[in-house]
Amino acid sequence: METLFFLIVSLVAIISAILVVTCRNPINSALSLILTFFCLATYYVMLDAPFLAAVQVMVYAGAIMVLIVFTIMLLNIRVNASKSQSHKIVLGSVIGFFTLLNTAVIVFKSRVALPNGPLTGDIIKQQGHTELIGREMFTTFLLPFEITSILLLVAIVGAVILAKKKI
């Protein structure tokens, strides 16, 4: 059952990911990207990480993609006339082929390493995934967490200064 579900979601994820690059209309590409993010969130649920799934949908599919859709709407990019871009197609397929080869080699040659941190699946199920993330975030990784928030604050201040002519 779980395998079947995984296969269906993977199929949707792959098709929508292909549509992101093949759609002529940028809005349709953006919509496909949202669908891809949604499928990724489903994977998080299957990996017993519901908090990450919710955050994935909220932050990526919700906030970031709204900004992208917004930008496309404001720039008002319409479907551009198709030009023959054969050299790009050749270059793209060469790069794509080698990336695929590389991934295939990595997937088939390497062993899957077991997680060797202190947290196992049982502990996560027992204590709760959200609680564990919260605790780690505010104890072990407190400094990186604070640095990230200061970085975001700097970005916000920068955006306000750039956007406002008179402060």
Instruction: Please identify, using beta-carbon distances, which residue of 17 and 19 lies nearer to other proteins.
Output: 19
Residues 95, 14, 27, 156: is their CA dihedral positive or negative? negative
User: Interface with other proteins includes 27 (CB under 8 A)?
Assistant: yes
63 lies in the binding site for other proteins (CB under 8 A):
yes
Size of the site for other proteins (CB under 8 A): 24
Question: Least distance from C-beta 113 to other proteins, angstroms?
Answer: 28
Based on CB atoms, which residue is closest to other proteins, 1 or 167? 1
Q: Contact between 12 and other proteins (CB under 8 A)?
A: no
Q: Counting beta carbons within 10 angstroms of the beta carbon of residue 82, is it exposed (0 to 12), middle (13 to 18) or buried (19 or more)?
A: exposed
Q: Is 61 in the site for other proteins (CB under 8 A)?
A: yes
Asked if 156 interacts with other proteins (CB under 8 A), we say: no
79, 85, 88, 89 alpha-carbon torsion, rounded to 10° = 90
Q: How far apart are CA 69 and CA 55, in angstroms?
A: 19
Q: What DSSP character marks residue 61?
A: I
Among 12, 69, 124, 132, binds other proteins (CB under 8 A): 69
